[in-house]
Amino acid sequence: MFQVIGGRSVQAARLLAPRSAVLVEAVRGRKSRNDPVAKSKEGRIKTPPPVDPVEMVVLKERYSEYQLIMRALRLEFKEEVLRKRYEEETGSRAEERARQEAEEHQALMAWNDQENLRLLKLRVLRVQQEAEEAQRKKLEVIMQREQQQQELLKEKEKEILQLQEDIKNFITLENLDQRIEEALDNPKNYNFAIDKEGRVVKQTLLQ
């Protein structure tokens, strides 16, 4: 990767440098190109770096996948080009197909409008029924409240009539002597005991 970048930079320097300048490519290391081989490296045979078999298998699989993908892309592009060419050659058929699709679209839109209208009528009917039901319940609640008020008035009237009847038995200054005589003539003994059911079980005698 670094050698490629270095080569590109050298080529760019060649193009941008003036013609009279002498370009010398940079070489890694301290020795120049004309220096002989070092004595310690004479007779050395360079051997290629070892290859990992697992890595080689992985690379082969990836390269096979790459070839398959590229082949599929080429076929896809070729199919698209052929299809466009076929459509251009068969323009009349395309126009006929477009006309049929337009007619089908119009028919579907008309059916959609009819369906929307039908659903709108159903929705309006449902809303009316719900409004009528709500009005009916409201009237029932009003009538129930009026009936409760009437019953309450009747109970109050009964209480008033009962109170008027009870007033007749009240002790006043006019009937005080009479009530005293009646109490003396008819004595009542309130000294008694009752059980849990309210029955008198024991009572003392009047003296």
Dump pLDDT digits (tens) for 144-162: 999 999 999 999 999 998 8
> Is a pLDDT exceeding 70 seen at residue 187?
yes
pLDDT number for residue 196: 82
Query: Which residue has better confidence, 191 or 55?
Result: 55
What value does the mean pLDDT take over residues 1-16?
Answer: 45
What span, in angstroms and rounded, lies between the C-alpha atoms of 100 and 194? 103
What value does the mean pLDDT take over residues 26-49?
Answer: 78
Say if residues 127 and 134 touch (Cβ distance below 8 Å). no
- Phi-psi sector, 133: left (phi>0), alpha (psi -120 to 50), beta: alpha
Tally the C-alpha atoms within 13 A of residue 171's C-alpha that lie toward its C-beta: 8
Range among 4-8, 40-44, 155-159, 172-176 with highest mean pLDDT value: 155-159
Question: Which residues neighbour 171 within 8 Å (Cβ) at sequence distance 6 or greater?
Answer: 179
What span, in angstroms and rounded, lies between the C-alpha atoms of 149 and 152? 5
What span, in angstroms and rounded, lies between the C-alpha atoms of 117 and 136? 28
Mean pLDDT of the chain: 81
Tally the C-alpha atoms within 13 A of residue 199's C-alpha that lie toward its C-beta: 2
> Is a pLDDT exceeding 70 seen at residue 14?
no
pLDDT number for residue 18: 52
**CA nearest to 182, candidates 173, 171, 168, 167:** 171
Question: For 21-35, 154-168, 183-197, which range has the lowest pLDDT when averaged over its residues?
Answer: 21-35
Which segments of the chain does DSSP mark as H helices, in order?
A: 2-16, 53-89, 91-167, 176-185
